[in-house]
């Protein structure tokens, strides 16, 4: 474990980020699954058991509205990175995952989602794509995002651009532009693109949105939403806290 977590993360082209405990744990879980599968298929003499490290606490770093504005401003001020503003707005207002945002198109496709502006819906996965644990469910387009989408579509149609977020072609990972905008906004390295999803979930909880509605909107299991973000909800433990006011005096 210590050897693995001392290695530099291979995708960290703009930082010295190391492999995290969570990543190393997932790799060991995959190894254990592979061993179990082989044992079931072919048989193994003796039991091979992988010792897993303690599961790290989930990260729920999110942005305040001021921090989100700073990040957007930093992306827009750099002319080479203005495509990142689209990425940020879609992430903040829909909570869609990083890779799914980069696959979004204006028209239906088998390998990525699309915006249906006429019906006001975002489809997060391609036509015929199998549903996975990521729960890429459709969601309604927020009114605040709709004007931006109409404007972007008008611009992209003139350039025959089919991907909503692109820079000289399809983007596989949003790394360099994100890192530069993040640094310019004065935010720390813990602010990764996935923080946009955390932020969307947190903002929904702060507004008191019903767990089932918010979970369906984000494509997130309501139980996970409650366990990770429930403390941001205005009704969090309110019934338990208020119960002490009504107790009978003895």
Confidence grade of residue 35 (pLDDT, cut at 50, 70, 90): confident
Structure letter (DSSP) for residue 127 = T
| Structure confidence at residue 198 (pLDDT) | 95
C-alpha separations of 148 from 93, 128, 160 in Å = 11, 28, 18
| Structure confidence at residue 247 (pLDDT) | 57
CATH 1.10.443.10 location in the chain? 65-231
**∠ at Cα 61 (152, 180), nearest 5°?**
50
- 85-122 pLDDT, tens digit each: 999 999 999 999 999 999 999 999 998 999 999 999 99
Exposure b/e, 144-165, CB count within 10 A at least 16 = b: ebeeebeebeeebeeeeebbbb
Fold of 65-231: hpI Integrase; Chain A (1.10.443)
Which neighbouring-strand residues pair with 123? 114
Neighbouring C-alpha atoms within 13 Å toward the C-beta of 24: 19
71 within 8 A of 127, measured Cβ to Cβ: no
Structure letter (DSSP) for residue 187 = -
123 within 8 A of 114, measured Cβ to Cβ: yes
CB atoms within 10 A of CB 70: 18
pTM given for the model = 0.79
């Amino acid at each position: 474990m210590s050897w693995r977590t001392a290695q530099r993360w291979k995708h960290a082209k703009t930082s010295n980020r190391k492999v995290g405990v969570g990543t190393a744990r997932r790799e060991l879980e995959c190894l254990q699954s592979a061993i179990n599968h082989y044992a079931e298929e072919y048989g193994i003499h003796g039991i091979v058991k992988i010792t897993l490290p303690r599961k790290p606490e989930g990260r729920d770093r999110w942005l305040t509205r001021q921090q989100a504005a700073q990040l957007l401003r930093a992306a827009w001020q750099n002319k080479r990175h203005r495509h990142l503003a689209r990425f940020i707005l879609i992430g903040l207002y829909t909570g869609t995952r990083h890779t799914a945002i980069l696959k979004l198109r204006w028209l239906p496709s088998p390998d990525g989602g699309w915006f249906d502006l006429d019906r006001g819906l975002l489809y997060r996965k391609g036509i015929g794509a199998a549903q996975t644990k990521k729960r890429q469910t459709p969601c309604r387009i927020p009114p605040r995002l709709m004007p931006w989408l109409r404007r972007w579509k008008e611009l992209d149609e003139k350039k025959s651009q089919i991907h909503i977020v692109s820079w000289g072609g399809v983007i596989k990972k949003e790394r360099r532009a994100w890192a530069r905008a993040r640094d310019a906004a004065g935010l720390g390295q813990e602010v990764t693109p996935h923080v946009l999803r955390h932020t969307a979930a947190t903002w929904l909880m702060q507004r008191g949105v019903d767990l089932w509605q918010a979970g369906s909107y984000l494509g997130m299991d309501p139980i996970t939403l409650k366990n990770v973000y429930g403390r941001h909800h205005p009704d969090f433990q309110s019934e338990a806290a208020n119960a002490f006011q009504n107790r009978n005096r003895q």
